[in-house]
Amino acid sequence: MTATIIDGKAFAAMVRAQVAEHVARLKAEHGLTPGLAVVLVGEDPASEVYVRSKGKQTVEAGMASFEHKLPADTSEQELLSLVEKLNADPEVHGILVQLPLPSHLNSDLIINAIDPAKDVDGFHISNVGLLGTGQKSMVPCTPLGCLMLLRDHLGSLSGLNAVVVGRSNIVGKPMAQLLLGDSCTVTIAHSRTKDLPEVCRRADILVAAVGRPEMVKGDWVKPGATVIDVGINRIALGDKTKLVGDVDFASAVTVAGAITPVPGGVGPMTIACLLANTLTACCRANGLPEPTGLTA
Among 233, 251, 264, 288, binds ligand NDP (CB under 6 A): 233
Q: Could you tell me the sign of the dihedral formed by the alpha carbons of 172, 177, 182, 184, in that order? A: positive
Residue 168 as a binder of ligand NDP (CB under 6 A): the answer is yes
Residue 230 as a binder of ligand NDP (CB under 6 A): the answer is yes
Quick check: is 248 catalytic?
no
H-type helices in 155-241, by residue range? 172-181, 196-200
Residue 6 to residue 21: CA distance in whole angstroms? 24
Q: Environment class of residue 289 by beta-carbon count within 10 Å: exposed (0-12), middle (13-18) or buried (19+)?
A: exposed
Residue 273 as a binder of ligand NDP (CB under 6 A): the answer is no
Residue 275 as a binder of ligand NDP (CB under 6 A): the answer is no
Residue 16 to residue 58: CA distance in whole angstroms? 9
Residue 209 as a binder of ligand NDP (CB under 6 A): the answer is yes
Quick check: is 121 catalytic?
yes
Chain mean position to CA 180: 17
| Terminal C-alpha separation, the chain | 32
Quick check: is 18 catalytic?
no
Task: Please count the residues of the chain.
Answer: 296
Residue 200 to residue 209: CA distance in whole angstroms? 13
Residue 167 as a binder of ligand NDP (CB under 6 A): the answer is yes
Residue 165 as a binder of ligand NDP (CB under 6 A): the answer is yes
Question: Which is closer to ligand NDP, CB of 187 or CB of 193?
Answer: 193
Residue 173 as a binder of ligand NDP (CB under 6 A): the answer is no
Nearest to 124 by CA among 159, 57, 169: 169
Nearest to 169 by CA among 190, 183, 199: 190
Q: Please, what is the minimum distance in Å from the beta carbon of residue 92 to ligand NDP? A: 23
Q: 45-84 mask for ligand NDP (x: CB under 6 A)?
A: ----------------------------------------
Residue 69 to residue 138: CA distance in whole angstroms? 24
Among 138, 171, 175, 275, binds ligand NDP (CB under 6 A): 171
Question: Which is closer to ligand NDP, CB of 8 or CB of 62?
Answer: 8
Among 35, 62, 174, 267, binds ligand NDP (CB under 6 A): 267
Q: Which of 18, 115, 119, 121 is catalytic?
A: 121
Residue 122 as a binder of ligand NDP (CB under 6 A): the answer is no
Residue 45 to residue 2: CA distance in whole angstroms? 37
How is the chain split among helix, strand and coil, in percent rounded to 5? 40, 20, 40
Q: 189-208 mask for ligand NDP (x: CB under 6 A)?
A: xxxxx--x------------
Among 270, 277, 278, 280, binds ligand NDP (CB under 6 A): 270
Question: Which is closer to ligand NDP, CB of 5 or CB of 80?
Answer: 5
CA distances 176 to 122, 129, 147, 199, 215, Å, are 15, 14, 10, 15, 20
- Active-site residue list: 54, 98, 121
List residues binding ligand NDP (CB under 6 A): 142, 165-168, 170-172, 189-193, 196, 209-212, 230-233, 246, 266-267, 270
